[in-house]
Amino acid sequence: MRSLRWLLCGFAFAALVQEGRAADLGETFLRGSQTVMSAPSGARWDGFYFGAQVGVAYTGTDFGNSTRQLTSFLLRNTTIEDEAHVSNWTTLGKYDATGSSYGGFAGYQKQWDNAVVGFEANYNRTNLSAAAADSMRRIFSTSDGYSNNVSITASSNIHITDYGTLRVKGGWAIDCFMPYGFAGVAIGRADVTRAVHVVGSGFDLTTQGRPNYAFDQSNAETKNGAFAYGYTAGFGLDVMVMQNMFVRGEYEYVQFGEFNDLKTHIHTARVAAALKF
């Protein structure tokens, strides 16, 4: 009887030990499951990337002052330039043109939660060309007693060959989508041709019997690879299609300073694809 009693007590103790171990295992397993389930998920945008792009570009160019320096040189040290400021006449207006662009880009970005910030270098080849030609004629008197009849015929054209931008980028990650905006600096290169033809005559309004005058002069200039600096701004949407690949749709605005007295800007809508690593 005593042996049977001890045997029963041993079975009961073993059962209690097994129950306690099972309870401990369940709690540990639950804690481990919570840790696994809290791991981050979704696309990550960190790292370096590079890609290629193609787009449609629209440029607007202000030719108003494009022949100012040429005219000023022709009429230097004359009364009609000093008083009538002939070189500042707005002979030419504003003209637009469209064309294509293509190029590449590379950058680096860092992600904190949903916020993504980075920088990007961007290069584009273009075939944007715009031209203007017109004339202007005025009759005016000057303080030296002459009535002056002056006409200007001007022409100018620009061909933007390429441009690059360096920009700061900020976006907001929504799983595999990332809308973003950017701003930065730009540098462009263009071939510029401009020409001016000035014809003038005058006769004496006084009674001093001074001789009348007449002149007919031209000036022209061609400069290939002229540089201009400016700024860029825009927005777009990156879409992660694979772990290390994304596609892009983007709008960009670039405003340049002056290409030999020509002011121009570019609007571009483009698509792109890039690899991230």
pLDDT of residue 21: 45
φ and ψ of 64, to 5 deg: -55, -40
> What percentage of residues in the chain have a pLDDT greater than 90?
79
Query: Would the pTM of this model clear 0.75, i.e. be above it?
Result: yes
Q: Are strands 146-172 and 115-141 parallel, antiparallel or unpaired?
A: antiparallel
d(CA 157, CA 264): 12
Q: Which residues contact 85 (CB under 8 A, 6 or more apart)?
A: none
pLDDT of residue 34: 46
pLDDT at 19 over 90: no
What is the band of 42 on the pLDDT scale with cuts at 50, 70, 90?
A: low
Q: Give the Å distances, CA to CA, from 266 to 125, 186, 251.
A: 13, 11, 11
How many CB atoms within 10 Å of residue 89?
Answer: 19
d(CA 248, CA 270): 8
d(CA 209, CA 93): 40
Q: What is the mean pLDDT of the chain?
A: 87
192 DSSP β-pair partners: 158, 223
pLDDT at 130 over 90: yes
pLDDT of residue 208: 84
What is the band of 185 on the pLDDT scale with cuts at 50, 70, 90?
A: very high
pLDDT at 70 over 90: yes
Q: Are 168 and 185 in contact (CB under 8 A)?
A: no
State pLDDT tens for residues 82-115: 999 999 999 999 999 999 999 999 999 999 999 9
pLDDT at 5 over 60: no
100: closest CA among 276, 218, 227, 271? 271
